[in-house]
A and B are shown apart, each in its own frame.
Chain A
Amino acid sequence: AQSVTQPDIHITVSEGASLELRCNYSYGATPYLFWYVQSPGQGLQLLLKYFSGDTLVQGIKGFEAEFKRSQSSFNLRKPSVHWSDAAEYFCAVDTFSGGYNKLIFGAGTRLAVHP
């Protein structure tokens, strides 16, 4: 069955520190992968996406993610975190089954940033 696992429910980092949020997926075919961010009380904003090609993808707000097929992972990184990055982050995989595409989300990682 297709699934997305985000092993870390909560992460706390200091402002200026580097960040890595983990994401593992289970999907038999070539995945389309996404990272979304959700600020409190807000909707979801797309940070970046991987469809094919270069396995290191750049997104908005200084984020990047690396697709590793051998590890079924799509980890999100940022070299220096800002206080405004405090939010919840969701990894998602777009699956194709039964003739249709469906987007499957992980449970999310809540990021807190200490000044």
Chain B
Amino acid sequence: NAGVTQTPKFQVLKTGQSMTLQCAQDMNHEYMSWYRQDPGMGLRLIHYSVGAGITDQGEVPNGYNVSRSTTEDFPLRLLSAAPSQTSVYFCASSKTGGYGYTFGSGTRLTVV
């Protein structure tokens, strides 16, 4: 049972480039979400999904897009990377809201 799998683990982008951070879970969880972690700020919610075809914005959605075509996958897209998006990104999933969340191991992104 793999849990929540994030790829890649590390990535360096140039300003203006685009990329997709991948997140997959094999627990049949309905809830999935993306967070970014910055020093002194904890984890902040970027986007979340409560099921296939349903997504919504979190605290810091600007510069990021998401889609949820299957229960298992919840990719995060950076359309035009900026240095302010340098961060560690975590994907999380939950069976239902309020049930407890399982986190992936993170993607460390640097935008130069």
Contact = CB atoms under 8 A, between A and B. Distances in A.
A104 B48 CA distance: 12
A94 B97 contact: yes
B73 to A, nearest CB: 18
Nearest to A36: B103
B105 A42 contact: yes
Given A43-B90, A94-B97, A96-B98, A103 B103 contact: no
B71 interface: no
A80 B85 CA distance: 39
Interface string A62-86: 0000000000000000000000000
Contacts, number: 62
A98 to B, nearest CB: 8
A54 to B, nearest CB: 17
Given A43-B104, A43-B105, A100 B40 contact: no
Chain A residues touching B, majority SS:
strand
Given A34-B100, A107-B40, A100 B33 contact: no
Contacts of A94: 97-98
B61 to A, nearest CB: 12
Contact of B92 (A6, A98, A103, A108): A103
Interface of A: 4, 6, 9, 32, 34, 36, 42-46, 49, 51, 90, 92, 94, 96, 98, 100-108
23 contacts: A6-B42, A32-B98, A34-B100, A42-B106, A43-B103, A44-B43, A44-B92, A46-B100, A90-B42, A92-B43, A94-B98, A96-B97, A100-B48, A102-B33, A102-B45, A102-B48, A102-B58, A102-B97, A105-B43, A105-B44, A106-B42, A107-B40, A108-B40
